[in-house]
């Protein structure tokens, strides 16, 4: 009895220790960070409500822009696993994005009228399977060849959809219903008025209220919250996976595939795992996009979208999830923020990209370890040069 009580106590304290460790695995070792993170996340959730003057986009609907940025951030986190961690250049990521979007379109509108929350996991699983089916034969090739194959895959998906009637063909899929919300359709559970800064001081705009939680065409705020929640869940899971054996094996594969294989890493398996995880997350992003857009057709998924996704990861800093997210913000937000420049904005955007790539080829925020390592290597090289005359 006594013995049992002791083991039960041990078991419980073990469990608690595990919970604590798990929290620290997600947020890091410094507990001071936790309140800061909570405040930061809350601020991000409130962005569309606060409507802050410099950040808000004057020429386009701010919540919609925030939603798009968040979807791009999800894409960037997913693609960062493939390209940043495992080192597989994927130029056809839009294929997974399209797959996710079309599963939503087909199952909630075109063929069936299943609820969004049921179809969302189905969409992600189907995209995951697509990733495995594409990865299994193609991940045996490396580098440039893989890039070409993936690029072909992105186009293949788009062209197949265009030419297949039961996938909607060229006319696409219309009236994809909004996800089921919470509360009454006309009022929601409660309403939150947005702030209006047009006079220079913040005023509560009672004409513009977000209904919690009603998804509709007029107000993109609930969609933003949904996407942001998805992004946070993905980041937490991705971080847990990265910090440990799986992350190490991905990185070892990226650094030197042959050496990794000889050190006992089944590199093919881990490349496939990275590819499938990336596909899974890409499918999520596409599904969110489709349910917000309400209408999808093959033109929504052009090849240059893949390039933009890769640009986001590379600009931000391949291999660092936060860098990739910032890259996504840059490619999705800046063109919207400077919409008043009209057609010039794309020119400036292009110049900005070229500038970043020329002056900071490793990306704005490369992974801490690699950046530190490179700095240290440069320092060592300098020191070595200095030492030569002495010797």
Partner 1 sequence: MSEVQTAPSTVQPLLDVDHVTIKFGGVVALDDVTFEIKPGEILGLIGPNGAGKTTCFNVITGVYQATSGTVAFDGTPLKGKKRYQITKLGIARTFQNIRLFPSMSAEENVMVGADVHSKVGILRSIFRTPYFRRTERESRERSRELLRFVGVNADPEDFAVNFSYGDQRRLEIARALATKPKLVCLDEPAAGFNPAEKQRLMQLIHDIRDAGNTVLLVEHDMNLVMGVCDRIVVLEFGRKIAEGTPAEIQSNPDVVAAYLGTEEDDDDTA
Residues that bind partner 1 (CB under 8 A): 14, 18, 21-22, 25, 237, 240-241, 243-246, 248-249, 251-252, 255-256, 258-267, 273, 277, 367, 369-370, 372-373, 376-377, 380
Given the complex with partner 1, which of 137 and 264 has the nearer CB atom?
Answer: 264
The least CB distance from residue 21 to partner 1, in Å, is 7
The least CB distance from residue 193 to partner 1, in Å, is 39
- CB–CB of 220/67 below 8 Å? yes
The least CB distance from residue 230 to partner 1, in Å, is 16
CA 122 to chain centroid, in Å, comes to 19
Tokens representing residue 101 in the block: 């979007």
Given the complex with partner 1, which of 193 and 247 has the nearer CB atom?
Answer: 247
- CB–CB of 337/64 below 8 Å? no
Given the complex with partner 1, which of 232 and 241 has the nearer CB atom?
Answer: 241
The least CB distance from residue 324 to partner 1, in Å, is 17
Given the complex with partner 1, which of 147 and 252 has the nearer CB atom?
Answer: 252
Given the complex with partner 1, which of 111 and 379 has the nearer CB atom?
Answer: 379
Given the complex with partner 1, which of 205 and 261 has the nearer CB atom?
Answer: 261
The least CB distance from residue 361 to partner 1, in Å, is 15
The least CB distance from residue 243 to partner 1, in Å, is 8
Rounded to the nearest 5 degrees, what angle is found at the Cα of 38, between the Cα atoms of 36 and 43? 95
Bond prior to 230 in cis (omega within 30° of 0): no
Closest CA to 94 of 326, 277, 302: 302
Distant-in-sequence, close-in-space partners of 129: CB < 8 Å, separation ≥ 6:
none
CA trace torsion 147, 149, 150, 154 (10° rounding): 130
Closest CA to 98 of 29, 180, 156: 156
The least CB distance from residue 138 to partner 1, in Å, is 19
Q: Which helix (H) or strand (E) holds 204?
A: strand 203-212
Residues in the chain: 391
Look-up of token digits 């190490």: 248
Given the complex with partner 1, which of 94 and 265 has the nearer CB atom?
Answer: 265
Given the complex with partner 1, which of 258 and 343 has the nearer CB atom?
Answer: 258
Spatial separation of the C-alpha atoms in residues 93 and 305, rounded to whole Å: 8
Number of continuous H segments (helices) and E segments (strands) in the chain: 14, 2
The least CB distance from residue 143 to partner 1, in Å, is 17
Main-chain dihedrals φ then ψ at residue 197, nearest 5 degrees: -105, 10
């Amino acid at each position: 009895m006594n013995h049992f009580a002791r083991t039960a106590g041990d078991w419980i304290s073990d469990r608690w220790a595990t919970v604590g460790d798990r929290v620290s695995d997600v947020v890091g070792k410094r507990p001071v960070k936790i309140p800061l993170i909570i405040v930061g996340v809350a601020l991000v959730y409130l962005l569309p409500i606060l409507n802050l003057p410099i950040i808000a986009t004057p020429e386009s609907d701010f919540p919609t822009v925030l939603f798009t940025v968040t979807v791009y951030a999800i894409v960037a986190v997913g693609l960062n696993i493939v390209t940043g961690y495992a080192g597989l250049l994927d130029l056809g990521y839009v294929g997974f994005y399209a797959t996710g979007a079309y599963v939503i379109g087909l199952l909630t509108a075109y063929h069936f009228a299943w609820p969004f929350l049921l179809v969302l996991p189905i969409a992600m699983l189907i995209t995951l399977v697509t990733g495995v089916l594409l990865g299994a034969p193609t991940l045996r090739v490396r580098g440039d060849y893989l890039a070409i194959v993936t690029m072909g895959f992105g186009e293949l998906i788009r062209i197949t959809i265009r030419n297949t009637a039961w996938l909607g063909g060229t006319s696409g899929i219309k009236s994809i219903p909004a996800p089921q919300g919470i509360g009454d359709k006309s009022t929601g559970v409660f309403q939150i008025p947005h702030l209006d800064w047009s006079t220079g001081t913040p005023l509560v705009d009672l004409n513009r209220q977000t209904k919690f939680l009603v998804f509709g065409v007029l107000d993109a705020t609930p969609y933003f919250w949904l996407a942001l929640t998805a992004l946070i869940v993905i980041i937490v899971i991705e971080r847990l996976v990265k910090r440990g054996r799986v992350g190490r094996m991905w990185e070892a594969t990226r650094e030197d595939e042959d050496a990794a294989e000889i050190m006992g890493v089944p590199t093919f398996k881990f490349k496939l795992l990275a590819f499938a995880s990336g596909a899974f997350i890409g499918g999520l992003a596409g599904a969110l996009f489709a349910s917000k857009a309400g209408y999808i057709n093959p033109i929504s998924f052009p090849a240059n979208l893949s390039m933009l996704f890769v640009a986001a990861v590379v600009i931000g800093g391949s291999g660092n999830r936060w860098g990739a997210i910032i890259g996504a913000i840059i490619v999705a937000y800046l063109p919207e923020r400077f919409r008043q420049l009209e057609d010039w904005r794309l020119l400036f955007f292009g110049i900005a990209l070229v500038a970043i790539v020329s002056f900071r080829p490793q990306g704005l925020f490369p992974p801490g370890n690699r950046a530190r390592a490179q700095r240290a290597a440069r320092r060592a090289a300098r020191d070595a040069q200095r030492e030569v005359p002495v010797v």
